[in-house]
Structure 1
Amino acid sequence: MKQYNILFLCTHNSARSVLGEALASTHPSGLFVGYSAGSTPGTQVNPFAREIALELGYDESKLRSKSWDEYGLPDAPKMDFIVTVCDNAAGEVCPFWPGKPSTAHWGFPDPSQVQGTDLEKKAAFNEVRNGLKRRLDILAAMPLEKLDSMSLKEIHTKA
């Protein structure tokens, strides 16, 4: 079975994009290898995102904020899909991605900006996790070998 590399982009690569990476890599279909990066990566992964990733069974050693420049290097994995998950990253000029991967924007509010109790903050992260999972489930059910950017963008409206 072919696996598809999917890169989730967000500005700081500490919350939403990390959740995308973990969800894709642990998706029950086995179809995806998730990656994440940011235009201006933070210094650490948000503790709530880390907790969810570990609950999913994601490898803790892979949880770090990364620059999207890493994925433009010649020895970087070739991406099949690029998904921005925050409005800031969607509006930025992205690097050149070798192989012309399909791209889409699946925007979610930043859960790390939620004020309140830890329970309220965790609920915001779970909302993003659930939304990303729904979109990945839809993506996994599609004929991936025939997928183009337009089809990938339509997932946003179906989820």
Structure 2
Amino acid sequence: MSKHSVVIFVSQRNSLRSILAQACLAHLGSGRFLALSCGWPGMLADAIHPAAIGALNSASMPIPNHRPRDWNDLARPSAARAEFVITLDETTSSFQPRWPGQPDSALWAFPDVAAAGDPEKVAHLAIQMLYALRRRLELFVSLPLQGTDRAAIRSDLRDLAHMR
């Protein structure tokens, strides 16, 4: 693996789940990771969800400085080659493109809290999701990615999906 491990987080609209994961990994990764996020073309939100902004602000994590983008931007041959693709939205998993370089992938299914409707409820659920993602990502960043059997890392990445 390269000096920086590229990790792509995927969710349907790229406005809440994948944004929280991207920001959290960038915060925890100490420069070891390049965290990116994207969503399903044609399903993207116009902007980062206000609940994601609120959750990240409450945790003192920087907000990614990009608008929601579709996965075609990150699946181009010229894009940064990902070592890992983590899908946070079960509905998108079978529609994703072929990622260059055959990255290891995992499904960490999280509910679509943005669909909860009530802004206060969505804000509360977004904070809970951020902390759940943080627990998984703290374990992920502690994995010995250099010099370890790729199958073992792939297994560990997928096992993290079952954390509660």
Instruction: Give the corresponding residue for 2:7.
Output: 6
Structure 1 residue ranges without an equivalent (≥5): none
Q: Report Cα offsets for 1:23-67 as digits up to 9, x if no partner.
A: 11111544322111011322111111123334534255x231100
Residues of 1 paired with 2:110 and 2:133: CA distance? 9
Instruction: Give the corresponding residue for 2:79.
Output: 76
Residues of 2 paired with 1:10 and 1:59: CA distance? 17
Structure 1 consecutive aligned stretches of length 4 or more whose deviation exceeds 6 Å: none
TM-score, normalising length from structure 2? Answer: 0.85
Q: 1:144 to 1:158 in 2, by over 3 A?
A: farther
Count, aligned residues:
156
Identity %: 24
Instruction: Give the corresponding residue for 1:58.
Output: 62
Instruction: Give the corresponding residue for 1:100.
Output: 102
Paired residue secondary structure (1:21)? helix
Residues of 2 paired with 1:49 and 1:59: CA distance? 8
Instruction: Give the corresponding residue for 1:153.
Output: 158
Deviation at 1:97, TM superposition (A): 1.1
Q: Please tell me the root mean square deviation across aligned C-alpha atoms, in Å.
A: 2.0
Q: Report Cα offsets for 1:105-136 as digits up to 9, x if no partner.
A: 11111121223352x22110011101111111
